[in-house]
Amino acid sequence: MVPDPTKHTGRWIVYRQIDGVREYDAPAHAHTMAKTAGKSKEKYQDQFRHSCGQDKKEDSLLLNRLSFRLEIYPLQMSKSALEFSQGGSHENLHGILVETLHQVLNYPMDNLVNYKQILLNIEPRIPPDHRTAIEAVHAEIPADDLYLEVIDNNVILYLNRVNMDVLIQLRDRFPGSILTQVAEAVSSIKSYGIKGRKRIFVDYNAERKVQNRKKKEESRGKYFYANDHPFQTMVNEIPGSLVNRIICGDSETILTLLPDNCIDLVFTSPPYNFGLDYHEQEDEHFWEKYFDKLFCVFRECIRVLKFGGRIIVNIQPMFSDYIPSHHMISRFFLEEKLIWKGEILWEKNNYNCKYTAWGSWKSPSSPYLKYTWEFLEIFCKGDLKKAGDRDNIDITDEEFKAWVVAKWSIAPERKMKKTGHPAMFPEELVRRVLKLFSYQRDIILDPFNGAGTTTAVAKSMNRRFLGIDISDEYCQKAENRL
C-alpha cells in the first residue's frame, strides 16, 4: 500500500525494493541527513544527483543496479512519480528524480519536523516479523510523531511525540517483536511535555524560553546585585599546618590564620542553639547577638574562599520565635556581593518531628506550620563557574542527572545519640554536595564542624579539609571519625 502523501508532513523516505522485499534506508528529513553525512547542501545535492544516475549514467543501468523508489512528504509528487512508486511505468525516471530532488532541496526547512533519535541494538538478531510490526506502527502513528528505521540489527527510533497508549497497544499486539524495546526506550525518557494525550519529546519547553535571552542578559547584566564586588582572582595556598585538621576554637578567630582565597568550598550548618541543648552554647541568645556572631564568621568564610568558590549553608526554614533564618542568611550573602547559585530542598520525610504542637487546633486563628524539609542555600564568590581539573571530577552521569534536580529526598541522621550531637546532617547529604560542587583534592571548610560529618566525608572522598568547632568533646569525636 502506498501512503497518501497528503497525510504525511515533514518526512522523506528512501528505500530499496529488491525481489519484492522492502528495506528501509535512511528515513530522515533532508537537512538532518545532510548534517549527519557532514556535507554542505551543495555537496549533498551532487551526491544525490550522482546516486540518481545524473552523471551520464543511463536510467536502465541505474534500474538494473538498484531498484528503488522515492516517497516525499509533504511534497506533492507528479502523476508519473506516483505511478513509479506504485510499481508502474519506469519511463522518465530521470526527470522524476530531478524534479523530486529540486523539491527536496528547495522545501522550506522550517516546515520540517525535528526528532529525537535513539539507536537500539537488537541482539542476537531482529525478529523475523519486524516488518509487520513496523508497518503497523507506521500505519497507526503519524510519521511526524514517530518513525522507525531498520539497519542490520539496529533500529533507529525517530521520536517527536507519541500517544503512549497507542504504542503500548501495538507492543502488546506484537509480543516479542522489536516494539518491546521501542516502548521501553520511549518509557525510559523522563523529561517530556504533555499535550492532549501525547508525550512531547522535542521542543516541549520552547514556549518557556526567554526570547533573546543572551542579549537581554548583556544589556541588563547577570546578577546585577553582585557586579560591583571587590573580590580578587588570585589564589593563595593554605598553610600546610592547617590542611586535614580538626581545630578546636572560635571559628572567627581561627579563620584569621588563613590567607585570602585559599578555600574551595564551605559547607556548614549554623548551630541550632535555640530551643535545643547545643553543647557549650548559651540557649538564651538575643537574636541580634546570634546573627552578629554568625555573620562575623561568614565574613571570614567569604574572605578565605577562592574566586569562583562556593558557600553552601544548610538551614531550617525556622529555628523558633518566627525568625526566617534562611531569608536573613541569604540577604546577608547578597549584601556581601556573593552570587546566588540556587537552593536545594532537602526533603527529610520526617513527619514524626519533635515539635507536635498544632497551634490553634482546627482554627484559622494561628495554626502552627510544620516542616519536613530544610534548605541548602548556595552562593558563589565572584563567578558562577569554578575552575578545576576535569581529571578530578568524580560524579557519574546518573548522579549528575539525578542531583541537579534540586529536591533531595534523604532520611535524617539516625545516629545522633551515638555521637551525642543534637543536630547532625547525614553523610549522604555531604557526599552529594561535595560531588556536585567540588573536585577531588579541593579544600573543604566547615566552620561549625560539630561531630565531624563534613570532614569525615571529605576525607573519604579524596578532598582536603579543615574543620573548626568550639567544643573539645565534638572535636575529639570528629577526630575519631577520620
Structure-model confidence comparison of residues 259 and 325, the more confident one = 259
Residues 6+ apart with CB under 8 A from 79: none
Beta strands 464-469 and 245-248 are parallel
Percentage, residues of the chain above pLDDT 90: 40
Is the per-residue pLDDT at 141 higher than 50?
yes
Whether the Cβ atoms of residue 153 and residue 122 lie closer than 8 Å to each other:
yes
Residue 422: name the closest of 347, 326, 316 by CA: 316
Residues 32, 114: Cα–Cα separation, whole Å: 9
Model pTM score: 0.58
Question: What pLDDT was estimated at residue 196?
Answer: 85
- Residues 374-400 have a mean pLDDT of 95
Which grid cell is 444?
573543604
Whether the Cβ atoms of residue 248 and residue 469 lie closer than 8 Å to each other:
yes
Residue 30: name the closest of 4, 11, 8 by CA: 11
β partners of residue 467: 246, 446
- Residues 28-32 have a mean pLDDT of 37
- pLDDT category at 232 given cuts 50, 70, 90 is very high
Question: What pLDDT was estimated at residue 390?
Answer: 93
Give start and end residues of each alpha helix (H) in 88-244. Answer: 93-106, 130-140, 164-173, 179-187, 213-220
User: How are strands ordered across the β-sheet holding 21-25?
Assistant: 21-25, 11-18, 68-73
Domain 227-480 CATH assignment equals 3.40.50.300: no
Question: What pLDDT was estimated at residue 208?
Answer: 58
Rounded to a whole number of angstroms, the distance between the first and last alpha carbons of the chain is: 72
The secondary structure of 400-467 as a DSSP string is: HHHHTSSEEE-PPPS-HHHHT-SSPPPHHHHHHHHHHH--TT-EEEETT-TTTHHHHHHHHTT-EEEE
Residues 6+ apart with CB under 8 A from 168: 183
User: How are strands ordered across the β-sheet holding 193-195?
Assistant: 161-162, 198-200, 193-195
- Lowest mean per-residue pLDDT among 88-102, 168-182, 230-244, 361-375: 88-102
Residue 399: name the closest of 434, 373, 374, 424 by CA: 434
Whether the Cβ atoms of residue 278 and residue 269 lie closer than 8 Å to each other:
no
Residues 153, 126: Cα–Cα separation, whole Å: 6
Which grid cell is 44?
549533498
pLDDT digits (tens, 9 = 90+) for 346-362: 998 865 554 455 667 78
- Lowest mean per-residue pLDDT among 57-61, 168-172, 204-208: 57-61
What angle is formed at CA 355 by the lines to CA 354 and CA 357, rounded to 5 degrees? 145
Neighbours of 248 (CB within 10 A): 18
Is the per-residue pLDDT at 457 higher than 60?
yes
Which grid cell is 417?
545519640
Residue 372: name the closest of 414, 327, 411 by CA: 411
pLDDT digits (tens, 9 = 90+) for 266-276: 999 988 654 34
Whether the Cβ atoms of residue 442 and residue 264 lie closer than 8 Å to each other:
yes
Mean of all residue pLDDT scores within the chain: 75
Of these ranges, 188-192, 273-277, 347-351, 465-469, the one predicted with the greatest mean pLDDT is: 465-469
β partners of residue 155: 120, 150
Q: Does an H or E element contain 31, and which?
A: helix 30-36
pLDDT digits (tens, 9 = 90+) for 147-183: 887 776 677 888 889 999 999 999 999 888 888 889 9
Please list, residue by residue across 331-353, b when 16 or more beta carbons sit within 10 angstroms of its beta carbon and e when fewer do: ebbeebbbbbbebbebebeeeee
